[in-house]
Amino acid sequence: MDVNAAVAAAAAIAGLCTGVIAMLAFRWSERDQARPTRTSLHTDAVLPPGVDTVLSVLRSSAVVLDESDSVVKASSAAYALGLVRGGKLAVEPMLHMARDTRRDGEIRQVELDLPRRGTGRGEALAVSARVAPLGSRLVLLLVEDLTEARRIEAVRRDFVANVSHELKTPVGALSLLSEAVMDASDDPEAITRFAGRMQIEANRLTNLVQELIDLSRVQNDDPLEDAEPVRVDELVAEAIDRSRHPASTKQITMAAGGTADLYVWGNRGQLAAALGNLVENAVNYSPARTRVGIAGRRVAAPGGDLIEIAVTDQGIGISEKDRERVFERFYRVDPARSRATGGTGLGLAIVKHVAASHGGEVTVWSSEGQGSTFTLRLPEAGAVRDRAAPDPAGPDDDAVDEPPYDTFPNAHDSTTVPPAPEVLP
């Protein structure tokens, strides 16, 4: 009996110990699972509540670093800019800022120029980096891309500088000429000569201010708000009439062809100004007793038919290096000649903006000493074309051949002037 009681007691004690051990093992397992691992330190769970949501809506690139400088959280923009690589912050100056901020808790900000990834041209990426502590262990890095803002600022700065320079020239000339008139008060012939020069400078100043207004208008206005079908032959007639006097002074023949029954969709005033600038440039840069041609045609395009209006001259031509810049504001191929003809350097910039705002483009073909062809391509007003009577002969596809100035045979023969296909009155 005593032996059986002892065995039972021993079994009870053994069972109790087993239960205690099992309970301790279970508790230990729970505590071990709750303990943060190295992997869990790099998940969203370590971020303070709400931080992940805030970072996801920020426009800036965001990177969160822990005490070992490992990336806990990074936005897709941070990866796109090349800030994070292999789970580490790849920009050394930003890493130093993060360490300093973690040490003293101060917020730091700096602007940096970083090499742009994926380009071999050494282009810099301008960024603004701001580092701040996030809790007791984490550091938040916010990076703003300033590249486009800097580019726009540079364009604005250059534009203001160019405008100031261009305005200063005629204003300074007017000031000097007015002094000359005062000094020559007893010389009627000198007064007449100086007054004529003053009138020229005043006209140049007026033209510059007007073209600045026109450029500002085409950049800010939406031309398609007041869009209407516009006849191409009316635009051509208006452009020719605008340059009739300087053309007749230089005995330049202006001819047009292939523009009948062609319509474009857009703002009539802006389209007339753009084509007028092209024709005016052609006349100004052409030598005497040559011709300027305006040809139109309809061309097929994937998004709908386009209307091409080509303006061809037999002028001095444009070099290859200048061809890429002729549409820049205030850029002149020949500054001395431009000032002699009253050019402001804004005409082609206006043409480019008008074409772009109407869903088209302007291109240039040129050869030095032979001439140039500027081609304005605009979407056709299809509804008007469908209502118009069809042309039995079909579209004038041969209006502009390659090279474009071959619209007029013998265009480069300085001794002969070929007959024009059609001369507008």
Q: Provide the residue type at 41 as one letter.
A: L
**CATH no., domain 148-220:** 1.10.287.130
Per-residue model confidence (pLDDT) at position 420: 36
- Between these two residues, 139 and 119, which has the higher pLDDT value? 139
Per-residue model confidence (pLDDT) at position 124: 78
Q: 171-179: long-range contacts (C-beta < 8 A, 24 or more apart)?
A: 171/205, 173/197, 173/201, 174/198, 174/201, 174/202, 174/205, 177/201
Nearest Cα to 167, choosing from 217, 218, 201? 201
Q: Report the percentage of the chain scoring pLDDT > 90.
A: 18
pLDDT in tens, 132-154: 998 778 889 999 888 888 877 87
Q: Provide the residue type at 337 as one letter.
A: R
CA dihedral 32, 38, 41, 44 (to 10 degrees): -90
Q: What is the mean pLDDT of the chain?
A: 76
pLDDT in tens, 171-195: 888 888 888 888 888 888 888 888 8
Residues facing residue 111 across a β-bridge: 128
CA quadruple 266, 270, 273, 278: dihedral sign: negative
- Hey, which CATH number is domain 45-145, 3.30.450.20, 3.40.50.2300, 3.30.70.330, 3.40.50.300? 3.30.450.20
Q: Whole-prediction pTM value?
A: 0.53
Place of tokens 């205030």: 330
- The residues near 109 (Cβ < 8 Å, ≥ 6 apart) are 128, 129, 130, 131
User: Which range has the top average pLDDT, 76-80, 210-214, 372-376?
Assistant: 372-376
Q: Are 291 and 411 in contact (CB under 8 A)?
A: yes
Per-residue model confidence (pLDDT) at position 24: 58
**For domain 223-425, which architecture applies?**
2-Layer Sandwich (3.30)
What is the rounded CA–CA span in Å between residue 28 and residue 17? 16
Spell out the domain ranges in the chain: 45-145, 148-220, 223-425
User: Which range has the top average pLDDT, 31-35, 41-45, 257-261, 321-325?
Assistant: 257-261
CA quadruple 125, 129, 134, 138: dihedral sign: positive
pLDDT in tens, 333-356: 665 555 555 556 788 888 998 998
Q: Are 89 and 63 in contact (CB under 8 A)?
A: yes
Residues facing residue 126 across a β-bridge: 113
